[in-house]
Amino acid sequence: MTLKKKIVLIGQSGVGKTSLVQQYVSESFSDNYLTTVGVSIKKKSLILDNQNISLIIWDLAGDLNYGSTYDNYIRGASGVLLVADGTNTSSVEYATSERRINHPSIQGIPKLLLLNKCDLKPEWRSNINDTSGIKSLLTSAKTNENVANAFEGLCSLILTGQKK
């Protein structure tokens, strides 16, 4: 049996949500920035712990302040990737803010914090201060570092949560 799981990517505009999905699903990367409007939904099949999983990936626009509510998009998710850009401190605050992490629609479900653009490490600010306590991972959509680990790590957390 195939398990269908919805996951959502949340984070400020420009942090690399779409790039991470594109790298994971299509193994490609572009330096051009084209902002996402609304939501883009991609599907990826994988096998984890002998379990067939159909991962439904919801890549949300960084700014969702028009049209149907944010709530409508994130409802029913089994896991969340909170994405921040390591070269941009405010994006870390954004991703780990109380109102995002503890939003009623995603409360208590597995979450991973991705500090993306780790290929730009020399540029990383020394003042990144994440006190959210959420498990984090350094990723690069550009070099493909930890990209599969991010998605599959979240899946593992989802499966583990289910067995309990």
Residues lying near ligand GTP in the complex (CB under 6 A) are found at 11, 13-19, 30-33, 35-36, 61-62, 116-117, 119-120, 140-142
Least Å distance between CB 105 and ligand GTP? 19
The option from other proteins, ligand GTP, Mg ion, none interacting with 140 (CB < 5 to 8 A, set by class) reads: ligand GTP
- When asked if residue 105 is in the footprint of other proteins (CB under 8 A), the reply is no
Q: How far is the CB of 106 from ligand GTP (least distance, A)?
A: 18
> Minimum Å distance from CB 130 to other proteins?
16
Helix then strand count (H, E) for the chain reads: 5, 6
Amino acid identity, residue 107? Q
- Alpha carbon separation from 94 to 13, 15, 45, 107 (Å, rounded): 10, 11, 30, 17
**What is the rounded CA–CA span in Å between residue 128 and residue 89?**
6
Helix (H, G, I), strand (E, B) or coil at 59: strand
Distance of CA 147 to the CA centre of its chain: 10
| Site residues (vs other proteins, CB under 8 A) | 6, 13-14, 33-35, 37-41, 43, 56, 61-63, 66-68, 72-73, 75-76, 87-91, 125-127
